[in-house]
Copies of this chain bind each other. A is one copy, B any other.
Amino acid sequence: MKIKTPTLADIEQATERIKGEVHLTPLFHSRTFDSDTGTVAYFKTENLQRIGAFKIRGALNKILSLTDDEKSRGVVTFSSGNHGQATALATRLENIRCVVVMPENARTSKRNAAEGYGAQVVAAGTTSDDRYERALGLHKEFGYTIIPPYDDHFIIAGQGTCGLEIIEQRPDVDIVLVPVGGGGLISGCALAIKSKKPRVRVIGVETNGADDANQSFRQKKLIRYGKTSTIADGMRNLSLGNLNFEMILKYVDEMMTVSDEDVISMMRFFFERMKIVVEPTGAVAAAAVRIHSSQFQGEKVCAIISGGNIDTNDFLSLVKQS
C-alpha cells in the first residue's frame, strides 16, 4: 500500500491540533555569529521546545489523530531519544497507555525522562532492529499502535509546523538549514516552506560520519548504511524513511555535511556566546552556516536547532576547554 505524502493542509491542521501544548519557539540571533560568517542568521530554538526538542510536534499530532479505539488500546514506540520522550509526554497529556522500547544500555537519564512522563520502559537488545522487533511483538500481542519516529504521515505533518512558524516569524528568510536524521523534520519543514515561499532554499545537513541522506539525495535512490559513526546521536539511524526520502527529493534544494569537530565548536559557541544548551544533532545546521559560509554571504539564513537534550556530563566533556 502506497501511503499518501502529507500536504500543506495537513501541516496547517497539525498546527491547529497541537497549539496550546507546543511552544512557538523564538528565533535567536547573534551579532557575533553574523559578523563571523557574513550572513544574517537566525536560530530556531527547538531546544527550548517542550521535552527539549521538536519531536513533541509530530508525536502530539500523531497521538491526537488516533481513533478512540486506538487511544483506548495504547501505543508503543521504539526510541532511546527525543521521540521516546515526546511520545511519552503526548500520551500523558491525552491519558493514553504508552510503552517505550529502549536499548538495554540506555542511559538512566533517558529512562527516567520517559518514566517521568508516565510511560512504561521496556529494554530490548542493543540495535534498532532489536527494538523494532520488540515493538512489533507488543503491537501484535496487545494491539498497541506503533508510533514511528519519522516515516509517518502525521509525524511529518507535525514536524512541518516548525517550518511554517519560521516562514511566519521571518517572511524575509532566504535559506533554511535543517538537520537530517530519519528525515521527519526536513520533509515536513521543506513541504511547508516550499508551499508557502517557493523561492526559499531548503538545505539538509548531516555529519560526515552519517551522510546516508546526502548519498541518497545525490544518487536519487534510498541508500541504507551498515553503520554510522557520529556524535550526533539523532543522525545514527541507517537510512531515511521512505516517505521522507520521497519528499526530500521533491522539496529539498541541497544537502551538505559538517564534521563532528565543527559540531562541537558550534555547541561551544552556543554555550559561551549565546548561553543556550544545544545537543550535537541540534548544532549541525548552524555549523554548516559557519563552515560553508562562503556560500551564504549576505543571505538571511535560518538554522534549526533541533534539540537540547544531552546527558550533563556528556555535554561537559564535549564542550570543556583543554
Contact = CB atoms under 8 A, between A and B. Distances in A.
Interface in A211-259: none
A277 interface: yes
Contacts of A26: 26
Contacts of A316: 316, 319-320
Q: Looking at chain A's contact residues, is the secondary structure mostly helix, strand, loop, or mixed?
A: helix
Given A26-B26, A268-B312, A312-B268, A275 B52 contact: yes
A275 B272 contact: no
A16 B171 CA distance: 28
A273 B85 CA distance: 13
Contact of A272 (B268, B272, B312): B312
Nearest to A29: B23
A308 interface: yes
Specify how many copies of this chain sit in the oligomer: 2
Interface string A257-273: 00000000000100111
Contacts of A31: 50
Contacts of A268: 312
Contact of A312 (B52, B271, B277, B278): B271
Interface residues of A, number: 23
A319 B312 contact: yes
A27 B277 CA distance: 17
Nearest to A282: B275
A321 interface: yes
A159 interface: no
A106 interface: no
A202 to B, nearest CB: 25
A47 interface: yes
Interface string A186-213: 0000000000000000000000000000
A312 B321 CA distance: 7
Interface string A282-322: 00000000000000000000000000100011001001110
A309 to B, nearest CB: 8
A276 interface: yes
A48 interface: yes
Nearest to A53: B275
Contacts of A276: 275-277
A293 to B, nearest CB: 20
A275 B308 contact: yes
27 contacts: A26-B26, A28-B48, A31-B50, A47-B275, A48-B274, A48-B275, A52-B273, A52-B275, A268-B312, A271-B277, A271-B312, A272-B312, A275-B276, A275-B277, A275-B278, A275-B308, A276-B276, A276-B277, A277-B277, A312-B319, A312-B320, A312-B321, A313-B320, A313-B321, A316-B316, A316-B319, A316-B320
Given A47-B275, A48-B275, A271-B312, 4 more contacts: A271-B277, A275-B276, A275-B277, A316-B316
